[in-house]
Amino acid sequence: MTSRLRFVLIAGSISFLLTGCGDAFNAGTISYKDSEQFTKKQKDTPDLDGKPQLQEAVRKALADLFGPRPQEIKVPAGSGFPEGGRYLANYEKVGDGVQDIVYTEANSGKKVAVVGGYGLYRKYCLHCHGVQGAGDGPTAEFLYPLPRDYRRGVFKFTSTAPSNPKPTRADLKKTITHGLHGTSMPAFEALMSGSEIEQVIDYVIFLSMRGEVERNLISIAALVDKDDINGITADDIKESLDTVVNNWKATETLVVSPKARRTEPTRESVLRGRDIFLGKKFGTGQPVACTDCHGLHAKGDGSSFVERNIFDKVVFRRKSLDTAIEERYKELGDEHKSAQWQPGGHGGGHDSASSELPETFDAYKNRETTNWDKGSKDDWGNPLRAANLNLGVYKGGRRPIDLYWRIAKGINGAKMPAHGNLLPDDQIWDVVNFILALPYEPDLLKDAEQIKKSVTAAPAVTQR
Amino acid sequence: MSNEHAANGHGHADPHAHGADHGHGHDDHIHPAPTNPLFKYVFSTDHKVIGIQFLFSGLIFFVVGGLLAMAIRWQLAWPWKPMPFMARFMPSWAENGYLMPPEWYNKLFTMHGSVMIFFVIIPLLTGAFGNFLIPLMIGARDMAFPKLNMFSYWFMPPAMIAMANAFMVPGGAPESGWTSYPTLSNSFTSTPGSYEAQTWWLISLLFAGVSSLMGSINYITTIIMLRAPGMKLFRMPMTVWALFITAILQAFALPVLTSALVMQLLDRVAGTNFFSPAGWVVANGPAVVGGGLPLLWQHLFWFYSHPAVYIMILPGMGMVSDIIATFSRKPLFGYKPMVFAIAGIAGLGFIVWGHHMFQSGMNPALGATFMLSTMMIALPSAIKVFNWLGTMWGGRLQFTSSMLNAISFVAMFIIGGLSGIFMAATPVDMHIHDTYFIVAHIHYVLFGGSTFAIFAAIIFWFPKMFGRMMNEPLGKLHFLLTFIFFNGTFFLMHIIGMHGHPRRIADPTVYEYLRGTGTMGLNQFMTLSAFGLGLSQLIFAFNFLYSIFAGPKAPANPWHANSLEWVATDSPPPYFNFEKIPTVYHAPYEYSVPGMENDYVPQTQPLPEPTAHTVVEKA
Amino acid sequence: MRYWSLLFALAAIISVGIFAYAPISPEWWLPAGPNVSAGHLHSVSSAGKQIDSLFVIILLITGIVFIGTQVALVYATYFFVDKGPNGRKASYFHGSQRLEVIWTIIPAAILVFIALYQMGTWASVKFRSAAPKVQPLAQVTARQFQWVIRYPGEDGKLETKDDLFMVNDLHFVKGKQALIYLKSSDVLHSFFLPALRIKQDAVPGLTIPVWFDTDQAGHYELVCAELCGWGHYKMRGNVTVHETQEEFDQWLQSALKEQSRDQVAAVVTGSQGR
């Protein structure tokens, strides 16, 4: 029944000087901004550059489906929101007028006017995540990592698989409630009530749907000739929407459940986990390459990523990659030179050949540029680095199940791949145990170089 | 009062041009006044011109700081609502429906505090009035170092440009408060304003500091070396005493601030680590080498900034003492105790900085000693209040707008002083530290105190500065509205502060105990009052500008005061101030001397013998 | 002209009136505990009670001084106003040594009294030697913009593998001294419990013990009182005071269980796990 409802909701502000009224911050109109795919030539994604008619058609389709402005929300039919998406806003259009949206509190039976997902999002989230959920709010620019752009429908920390699935409501709820430790995403548990968080989840999903439908429509329109007025058909629109909606609806069935209980975190399990981390193969498992990204000492300084020094210069000092690489190469040269003059330093300072770095600048630049372009960016094109596992900070959560999900199914949109097909569950639990033990026992990786050598150079040992 | 008794028997109104005057009984060597307007009005070495330059730049920044304050108040009363009118100047807010981003709130109060303290109150009190009044009041032709004086003003524009530039750099204006506590301020990843703007803030303050330092050296030298014959130290007006002691305070405290600023600047741009602990990481940024401690900054900063609080109030006290005595037509009560009280405040001012740090993690035993010295500093302040009351007692009070502002300085300073005792009590400070109680306190001292003193002083010395009178009815209207709206804005801050409303939070409604109509209602009331306060200043601005050009011509001594600037020269004084360096016979507080025809005895006129001996010595 | 004095009188009367009204309004007075609706307007912690009584004492002393000085000011501005050329002349005196001595010594005595009187309270709430000899409740690490609270697990020791990690969620037991170790992981923050009158900055590089108690169970708020960046205002924490140790232990157990979860739960509680 509810799936056929098509609400028109109004998010607005009626009171002005009253406080305590939840909608006071709704005043002041905002409007959806076109995504950059509309008018700008894109490198990797389709765009509608130079196709004004099709741009208009996509805009119209979006307005028909989701409402023309953030303040005027249409909920697409069959989108699967709780109660048909009523809690996205605080007013409902009835005939010519509007009426408050209320909900009945479960325990007290009181009727409460909702603030609505839009209002809460606007108050708490918009300044980072932006009007259309593009992660481009005014505060966002100086944060690392950057706030999520919902428009791809990809969320990093989910409990679902396979590749890039939608998060469950529980996943989103966990992120909003507890924040993402180690990022700028705060925990909202102390700022919003449970039902308010649910409203925000609705709105985040709404924005994500809108953004993904926008992308889909642009992909379709990009293939169409620019003067074709009927380039986007009603079927196209419906299909674009349905794909997205169905993905969101299906997500609850895609939750990955570990087949085995967690192995007791015994010394053996931890050491086994460490060896797996360092690339050793056990039983039916495949060797995994954790150290390529996380580094031998799990400091997040693996060789697939651009050097941390260069990363810092580009991300935090806003230098161009080339400048950063040049500067770093110079620094390396200086370090190399001064090392020679130290007691025990190689070369003794007499051999002029050894005062040169072992690697030419071009080779260095080539390698680091590739590392940056290929290794150090997530699917959104934002800079990325591997986690330092020594800190005891786990963005996706520190429960064993969270870490299991991170290892078994990876981090969506980021470089962390799924290992569920490489490692049996008991070995994943070993790695979980190792990761949870590492901050308390930094000595675990003291001899990482030797262990790594022994596990990789002597496969005979692993084939016991 | 009437302004008709213009000229008194001792006016030296001499119609002669004085440019060619060489030596007038003293070893004066008087240069002719510059004729090139560039040197007459812009790069002038004349202390009067420099004082007026400081006055204008201070008042312009007063407007800027005031507008920032309005924006702060708006956000506090109606969080996240688009600001009427002013938001339109923020094009970057448009796409968010003109909702203020939260970091902007931090920028607003940071800039409000910095601008008001470093560009308004200090330059107005010491720069404008210090420059204008000191030579005139002690009977000198100019400052001891006129060129240094000129430089002291021209170090301000770079400071102002740097501060304004802080708004334009990536990340926007600084966000770490006017106190700029590390590690928020020295790690460039901590918040957008610390990315680059904080560096500009530091540069700006360095320039402002150097400007103040040059000024204070000049004041000290001038007051020691260039007093007119007979102007013994204990014959100087309170204004000069206050400015003298303030200058000493500045000269001793500013080097510490300067070094602290340089240290933070080096931390930010040269990779030193004075204030960051070892291996410190802020907001996922790169780790620093570290090895420093954030508390070091607080010690250094407050070692300057606590004396700075007195730098911002002592000149006001001095000027108010003169104004109250003049309009009470009565000698200043306890002239010497007043001087000692100022000196006491200045001396104790150097050993109380720790009271800003009771909750900072500093050793609490140290806090206990700072508490004792802080309690003691309330004493000289109390003595001053009692003496002002004593001065008015039995007087013949003339409620000019200047006097009204001066009286309200006393009334408001009492509130600001008494609320200070709460903070001095360390356990009570534990609750009210960093709440609106502090905000109320600082505004009662710096607005209720210093700003009312500035209003009083501008109206009082306006005739001397511009040769015209300000409009009295408008002045009174401005005072009335300012007084009402000031109290409406700031008094209730004590209440919400007592209730635990933290300062510097962009949205009080986040907290349940602040969400109710009791607290938010007060916030809205305060905001409306603040707008009223802001609008009332338009009256003053109009009065000020109108009177400069069209006010009635001022006589040499419109208030029938005794000190040299009134009795020994014209309004406005000529270049090089005095036709002839006057000779001084007594302190400038001989009003209503029994048996005299006039109710005032200029400093240039000897007292009738018996009175001078019996009464002056006693005081 | 003399009516200007009424303006000052009015301001003083309103000021006194506001402070006279404040204690009977729960939203104006010092913040109370969770049972404020029942008319409990006093603080609910032992330190808070001492601080409140000090506050009241200082309020009374300053109130008396305030009223005294304002009466003198209003009196002077009313009665000694200039009544034109035919009015009385101002009296001519330069001061009084006796008065100066009196009004130096009396305030000095009062100020020294206040200073010494509060030393004990200060020592008992801040001096490290006064810290209760109890097992620490938690380690509280402030970061932008949340409170990371780490409770000792079953072994009762902090910084071990079985620690419980919570965000913005402080729990302790009614009537028991709670001792926390306060740290910061990035910039300055300040741990402020308004209802308990506890405030202490969290300083990068320092670990500072803070202790507090309360005699009322219920929900309280934890405030960040030191500017810590763009999200400073967001840094709110929930405080839950449990009626009994059993209740606290129960909560701790369930939270620990959630933290060690290794299966997808049938019902997602979503409240405690990290």
In this structure, the answer to whether residues C170 and C239 fall within a common structural domain is yes
In this structure, the answer to whether residues C101 and C156 fall within a common structural domain is no
pLDDT of residue A8: 66
Q: Which residue of B has its CA nearest to C233?
A: B505
Per-residue pLDDT band for B389 (boundaries 50, 70, 90) equals very high
pLDDT tops 80 at residue A17: no
In this structure, the answer to whether residues C118 and C161 fall within a common structural domain is no
pLDDT of residue A231: 75
In this structure, the answer to whether residues C102 and C30 fall within a common structural domain is yes
Give C10→chain A minimum CA distance, Å. 28
In this structure, the answer to whether residues A184 and A274 fall within a common structural domain is no
Say if residues B314 and B345 touch (Cβ distance below 8 Å).
yes
pLDDT tops 80 at residue B21: no
In this structure, the answer to whether residues A199 and A277 fall within a common structural domain is no
pLDDT of residue B321: 96
Tell me if the pTM is above 0.90: yes
Residue range B409-423: mean pLDDT, rounded: 94
Interface of B with C in 564-603 (CB under 8 A): 589, 591-594, 599
More confident residue, B451 or A252: B451
Residues on chain C touching B387 (C-beta within 8 angstroms): 95, 100
For chain C, the domain total comes to: 2
Within-domain flag for B584: no
CATH at residue B434: 1.20.210.10
More confident residue, A252 or B14: A252
Within-domain flag for B247: no
Short-list B564, B597, B559, B554, CA closest to B12: B564
Written as one string, the DSSP assignment of B29-66 is -PPPPP-SHIIIIIS---HHHHHHHHHHHHHHHHHHHH
Within-domain flag for C181: yes
Q: Which two tokens stand for residue A96?
A: 């010519």
Decide if B127 touches C, using CB distance below 8 A.
Answer: no
Q: Which two tokens stand for residue C22?
A: 């404040």
Decide if C234 touches A, using CB distance below 8 A.
Answer: yes
In this structure, the answer to whether residues A298 and A178 fall within a common structural domain is no
| Average pLDDT value for chain A | 84
Q: What is the rounded CA–CA span in Å between residue A119 and residue B504? A: 24
Owning domain of residue C237:
138-259
Within-domain flag for A308: no
Q: What is the rounded CA–CA span in Å between residue B588 and residue B331? A: 8
Tell me whether residue A199 is exposed, middle or buried, using C-beta atoms within 10 angstroms of its C-beta: 0 to 12, 13 to 18, 19 or more.
Answer: buried
Within-domain flag for A390: yes
pLDDT of residue C272: 40
CATH at residue A281: 1.10.760.10
Of B39-43, B485-489, C55-59, C86-90, which gets the smallest average pLDDT? Answer: C86-90
Give the count of beta carbons closer than 10 Å to the beta carbon of residue A374: 12
Q: What is the rounded CA–CA span in Å between residue B449 and residue B74? A: 24
Within-domain flag for B460: yes
C263·A401 Cβ contact <8 A: yes
pLDDT tops 80 at residue B598: yes
- Dihedrals φ, ψ of B284, to 5°? 65, 5
Residues on chain A touching C259 (C-beta within 8 angstroms): 398-399
Within-domain flag for B537: yes
In this structure, the answer to whether residues C252 and C154 fall within a common structural domain is yes
**Test the A interface: residue of C155, C262, C263, C271 with most A CBs within 10 Å:** C262
Residue range A242-264: mean pLDDT, rounded: 89
Say if residues B500 and C223 touch (Cβ distance below 8 Å).
yes
Say if residues B311 and B126 touch (Cβ distance below 8 Å).
yes
In this structure, the answer to whether residues A246 and A337 fall within a common structural domain is no
pLDDT tops 80 at residue A119: yes
Q: Which residue of B has its CA nearest to C231?
A: B102
In this structure, the answer to whether residues A42 and A189 fall within a common structural domain is yes
pLDDT of residue A94: 75
Q: What is the pLDDT of residues B229-275, one digit of tens each?
A: 999 999 999 999 999 999 999 999 999 999 999 999 999 999 899 99
- Dihedrals φ, ψ of B554, to 5°? -90, 140
- Dihedrals φ, ψ of C230, to 5°? -60, -30
Question: Which residues contact residue B268 at a Cβ distance below 8 angstroms, ignoring those fewer than 6 apart?
Answer: B186, B188, B198, B199, B202
Q: What is the rounded CA–CA span in Å between residue B9 and residue A453? A: 104
C111·B379 Cβ contact <8 A: yes
Residues on chain A touching B96 (C-beta within 8 angstroms): 30, 126-127, 131, 137-138
More confident residue, B205 or B27: B205
> Which SS3 state, helix, strand or coil, does residue C188 take?
coil
Per-residue pLDDT of chain C (274 residues; tens, 9 = 90+): 788 999 999 999 999 999 999 988 888 888 888 876 655 567 788 999 999 999 999 999 999 999 999 999 999 999 998 888 778 888 888 888 999 999 999 999 999 999 999 999 999 999 999 999 999 999 999 999 999 999 998 888 998 888 999 999 999 999 999 999 999 999 999 999 999 999 999 999 999 999 999 999 999 999 999 999 999 999 999 999 999 999 999 999 999 999 999 888 644 444 443 3
Give B581→chain C minimum CA distance, Å. 28
Per-residue pLDDT band for A463 (boundaries 50, 70, 90) equals very low
Residue range A428-448: mean pLDDT, rounded: 92
Decide if B280 touches C, using CB distance below 8 A.
Answer: yes
Q: What is the rounded CA–CA span in Å between residue B508 and residue B75? A: 10
Chains that touch B (3 or more CB pairs under 8 A): A, C
pLDDT of residue B137: 95
Within-domain flag for C270: no
Decide if C263 touches A, using CB distance below 8 A.
Answer: yes
Q: What is the pLDDT of residues B156-182, one digit of tens each?
A: 999 999 999 999 998 889 999 999 999
A173·C270 Cβ contact <8 A: yes
Give A117→chain B minimum CA distance, Å. 16
Within-domain flag for C43: yes
Within-domain flag for B110: no
CATH at residue C174: 2.60.40.420
Q: What percent of chain A has pLDDT over 90?
A: 38
pLDDT of residue C32: 85
Owning domain of residue A279:
267-303+385-462
pLDDT of residue C2: 81
Within-domain flag for A380: no
pLDDT tops 80 at residue B18: no
Within-domain flag for C65: yes
Within-domain flag for B240: no
For chain B, the domain total comes to: 1
Which residues on neighbouring strands pair with residue A160, listed in sequence order? A255
In degrees, to the nearest 5, what angle opens at C-alpha A415 toward C-alphas A409 and A418? 20
Q: What percent of chain B has pLDDT over 90?
A: 82
pLDDT tops 70 at residue B524: yes
Q: What is the rounded CA–CA span in Å between residue B150 and residue B156? A: 10
pLDDT of residue B322: 96
In this structure, the answer to whether residues A249 and A271 fall within a common structural domain is no
Q: Which residue of C has its CA nearest to A173?
A: C270
Give the count of beta carbons closer than 10 Å to the beta carbon of residue B28: 14
Q: Which two tokens stand for residue B392?
A: 């008015």
pLDDT tops 60 at residue B24: no
Give A193→chain C minimum CA distance, Å. 11
Decide if B518 touches C, using CB distance below 8 A.
Answer: yes
pLDDT of residue B516: 87
Residue range A381-400: mean pLDDT, rounded: 91
Nearest by CB: A437 against C159, C161, C258: C161
pLDDT tops 70 at residue A109: yes
More confident residue, B93 or C194: C194
Residues on chain B touching C31 (C-beta within 8 angstroms): 499-500, 513
A261·C262 Cβ contact <8 A: yes
In this structure, the answer to whether residues C108 and C205 fall within a common structural domain is no
Give A261→chain C minimum CA distance, Å. 7
Of B84-93, B96-105, B114-123, C100-109, which gets the smallest average pLDDT? Answer: B84-93
ipTM: 0.93
Say if residues C194 and C47 touch (Cβ distance below 8 Å).
no
Residue range A162-189: mean pLDDT, rounded: 90
pLDDT of residue C39: 56
Give B600→chain C minimum CA distance, Å. 11
pLDDT of residue C104: 92
In this structure, the answer to whether residues A42 and A102 fall within a common structural domain is yes
Owning domain of residue B507:
313-554
Q: What is the rounded CA–CA span in Å between residue C31 and residue C41? A: 7
For chain A, the domain total comes to: 3
Tell me which DSSP letter residue B499 carries: T
Radius of gyration in angstroms for the set of CA atoms belonging to chain B, rounded to a whole number: 25
Within-domain flag for B610: no
Within-domain flag for C232: yes
In this structure, the answer to whether residues C229 and C201 fall within a common structural domain is yes
A177·C262 Cβ contact <8 A: no
Within-domain flag for C188: yes
Residue B594: how many CA atoms within 13 Å on its side-chain side? 9
Q: What is the pLDDT of residues C70-104, one digit of tens each?
A: 999 999 999 998 888 778 888 888 888 999 999 99
Chains that touch A (3 or more CB pairs under 8 A): B, C
Within-domain flag for B189: no
Question: Which residues contact residue A146 at a Cβ distance below 8 angstroms, ignoring those fewer than 6 apart?
Answer: A135, A140, A380, A382
